[in-house]
Amino acid sequence: MVYYSRTGRTRDVASQIARELKCDIEEIRDTQNRTGIIGFLKSGYQAARGKDTVLEPYERDPSDYDLVIVGTPVWAGNPSVPVGTYLRENASKIKNAAFFCTYGGSGAEGTFRRMSETIGKEPIQTVAITEREIKENTCDCKIEPFVRDVEAAFRTEE
């Protein structure tokens, strides 16, 4: 699994999914400062236009995996800029994908569509978790079926 998180929500969901699936997890880190109001505005502007950023080097090679789960916050109805960049850099290396996002409540479908267009593949499963579901701790009922479907499709028999 790879994910990006600016303020920690996507990280929380990523940690939970990775714990349940017992899968490898890697945080995508950006070299750009996205704090404060300027960072917020810049991020929305760049995401809406599909701009790229420069990522910190990441360690894992997606071509080593049968399935890559990709997590992102929704930014202006789009994947976050770091995740957009990651997908463009690794499109040809991702054999199968599943997506999750965290968001305020609008733009998840377009975000998933953009992500699948970028890699040229439909995800095997998606799940969108709202800020409210995270805050009220009611996201388990969405995460559980996602985890179950991913497990069923990619059960590792060792």
Ligand X SMILES: Cc1cc2nc3c(=O)[nH]c(=O)nc-3n(C[C@H](O)[C@H](O)[C@H](O)COP(=O)(O)O)c2cc1C
Q: Which is nearer to ligand X, 44 or 149 (CB)?
A: 44
Question: What is the C-alpha separation between 27 and 1, in angstroms, rounded?
Answer: 8
Structure tokens at 140: 């388990």
Q: Which stretch binds ligand X (CB under 6 A): 2-10, 19-27, 53-61, 83-91?
A: 2-10
Task: Provide the minimum distance between the beta carbon of 32 and ligand X in the complex, in angstroms, as a whole number.
Answer: 12
C-alpha distances in Å from residue 2, one per residue of 47, 49, 106, 110: 18, 22, 22, 20
The one segment of 15-23, 90-98, 103-111, 150-158 that binds ligand X by CB under 6 A: 103-111
Kindly identify the residues of this chain, within the stretch 25-64, that bind ligand X according to CB under 6 A: 40, 43-44
138 binds ligand X (CB under 6 A): no
Q: For ligand X, which stretch binds (CB under 6 A), given 62-70, 87-95, 104-112, 139-147?
A: 104-112
Q: Are 120 and 92 in contact (CB under 8 A)?
A: no
Amino acid at 83: V
Using the structure block, give the residue that is written with the tokens 């109805």: 77
Per-residue tokens: 54? 């420069």
Which tokens is 82 given?
């770091």
Angle in degrees, CA 101, 90, 36, rounded to 5 = 45
User: In angstroms, what is the minimal distance from the CB of 104 to ligand X?
Assistant: 3
Could you tell me the smallest distance in angstroms from the CB atom of residue 99 to ligand X? 14
> Residues 66 to 85: which contact ligand X by CB under 6 A?
73-77
Asked whether the beta carbons of 104 and 74 are under 8 A apart, the reply is yes
Question: Minimum Å distance from CB 41 to ligand X?
Answer: 7
Q: Which of 63, 88, 104, 138 lies at the binding interface for ligand X (CB under 6 A)?
A: 104
Please give the residue ranges that form the binding site for ligand X (CB under 6 A).
5-11, 40, 43-44, 73-77, 102-107, 131
